[in-house]
Amino acid sequence: MVVKEIGSGVNESRPKLLSLLKESRITRVVVEHRDRLTCFGFHSSDALFAIQGRVIEVVNAAENEKEEFLADLARLISSFCARLYRQRRAKRTTEKLVEHLQAPEEEQS
Protein backbone atom coordinates (compact mmCIF):
# COMPACT_ATOMS: atom_id res chain seq x y z
CA MET A 1 0.00 0.00 0.00
CA VAL A 2 1.38 3.43 -0.96
CA VAL A 3 -0.02 6.55 0.66
CA LYS A 4 1.18 9.95 -0.50
CA GLU A 5 0.57 13.12 1.45
CA ILE A 6 2.36 16.43 1.13
CA GLY A 7 2.62 18.15 4.45
CA SER A 8 4.80 19.59 7.14
CA GLY A 9 5.79 17.93 10.37
CA VAL A 10 4.45 21.01 12.15
CA ASN A 11 0.92 20.43 10.88
CA GLU A 12 -0.95 17.88 12.99
CA SER A 13 -4.02 17.90 10.81
CA ARG A 14 -2.94 15.28 8.29
CA PRO A 15 -5.69 12.70 7.83
CA LYS A 16 -3.75 10.34 5.57
CA LEU A 17 -0.80 10.17 7.95
CA LEU A 18 -3.03 9.64 10.98
CA SER A 19 -4.90 6.78 9.30
CA LEU A 20 -1.59 5.25 8.24
CA LEU A 21 -0.24 5.42 11.81
CA LYS A 22 -3.38 3.72 13.13
CA GLU A 23 -3.14 0.86 10.62
CA SER A 24 -1.09 -1.85 12.32
CA ARG A 25 -0.65 -3.80 9.06
CA ILE A 26 1.63 -1.02 7.80
CA THR A 27 5.12 -2.15 8.83
CA ARG A 28 7.27 0.38 6.95
CA VAL A 29 6.78 4.14 6.63
CA VAL A 30 9.08 5.89 4.17
CA VAL A 31 9.52 9.65 4.42
CA GLU A 32 11.63 11.95 2.26
CA HIS A 33 12.99 13.89 5.25
CA ARG A 34 12.42 13.11 8.91
CA ASP A 35 10.91 16.55 9.53
CA ARG A 36 8.12 15.66 7.08
CA LEU A 37 6.90 13.11 9.60
CA THR A 38 7.38 15.29 12.67
CA CYS A 39 9.53 18.30 13.41
CA PHE A 40 10.17 17.31 16.99
CA GLY A 41 10.01 13.95 18.69
CA PHE A 42 11.20 11.88 15.74
CA HIS A 43 13.25 9.58 17.96
CA SER A 44 10.21 8.93 20.17
CA SER A 45 8.12 8.05 17.11
CA ASP A 46 10.91 5.81 15.85
CA ALA A 47 11.10 4.04 19.23
CA LEU A 48 7.32 3.50 19.33
CA PHE A 49 7.40 2.07 15.81
CA ALA A 50 10.26 -0.26 16.78
CA ILE A 51 8.29 -1.56 19.78
CA GLN A 52 5.42 -2.36 17.40
CA GLY A 53 7.77 -4.10 14.95
CA ARG A 54 7.45 -1.26 12.45
CA VAL A 55 10.13 0.82 10.72
CA ILE A 56 10.42 4.48 9.76
CA GLU A 57 12.76 4.83 6.80
CA VAL A 58 14.19 8.27 5.99
CA VAL A 59 15.32 8.65 2.39
CA ASN A 60 17.34 11.87 2.78
CA ALA A 61 18.98 11.60 6.18
CA ALA A 62 20.82 14.70 7.40
CA GLU A 63 24.58 14.56 7.53
CA ASN A 64 24.81 17.23 10.21
CA GLU A 65 22.17 17.06 12.94
CA LYS A 66 23.07 20.51 14.34
CA GLU A 67 22.42 22.15 10.97
CA GLU A 68 19.22 20.15 10.60
CA PHE A 69 18.06 21.28 14.05
CA LEU A 70 18.73 24.93 13.20
CA ALA A 71 16.84 24.56 9.92
CA ASP A 72 13.93 22.94 11.81
CA LEU A 73 13.92 25.79 14.30
CA ALA A 74 13.84 28.39 11.50
CA ARG A 75 10.95 26.56 9.80
CA LEU A 76 9.07 26.34 13.08
CA ILE A 77 9.45 30.05 13.79
CA SER A 78 8.37 30.88 10.24
CA SER A 79 5.33 28.64 10.56
CA PHE A 80 4.25 30.21 13.85
CA CYS A 81 4.79 33.74 12.49
CA ALA A 82 2.63 32.93 9.46
CA ARG A 83 -0.07 31.50 11.74
CA LEU A 84 0.05 34.61 13.94
CA TYR A 85 -0.34 36.93 10.95
CA ARG A 86 -3.26 34.84 9.64
CA GLN A 87 -4.96 35.14 13.03
CA ARG A 88 -4.46 38.91 13.08
CA ARG A 89 -5.85 39.25 9.56
CA ALA A 90 -8.85 37.07 10.45
CA LYS A 91 -9.51 39.17 13.56
CA ARG A 92 -9.45 42.42 11.53
CA THR A 93 -11.75 40.91 8.90
CA THR A 94 -14.18 39.75 11.59
CA GLU A 95 -14.14 43.15 13.28
CA LYS A 96 -14.92 44.89 9.95
CA LEU A 97 -17.78 42.47 9.28
CA VAL A 98 -19.26 43.05 12.76
CA GLU A 99 -18.99 46.85 12.29
CA HIS A 100 -20.70 46.57 8.92
CA LEU A 101 -23.51 44.44 10.33
CA GLN A 102 -24.03 46.76 13.29
CA ALA A 103 -24.12 49.94 11.18
CA PRO A 104 -27.55 51.48 10.52
CA GLU A 105 -29.14 50.36 7.25
CA GLU A 106 -28.81 53.78 5.56
CA GLU A 107 -25.00 53.65 6.00
CA GLN A 108 -24.85 50.17 4.43
CA SER A 109 -26.48 51.33 1.21
Mean pLDDT rounded to a whole number for the chain: 81
CB 76 within 8 A of CB 46: no
- Which residues make Cβ contacts (< 8 Å) with residue 75, sequence separation at least 6? 8, 10, 35, 39
Q: What is the pLDDT of residues 13-62, one digit of tens each?
A: 788 888 888 888 888 988 888 877 887 778 888 999 999 999 999 988 77
CA-to-CA distance for 10 and 35, rounded, in angstroms? 8
For residues 2-7, give the mean pLDDT: 74
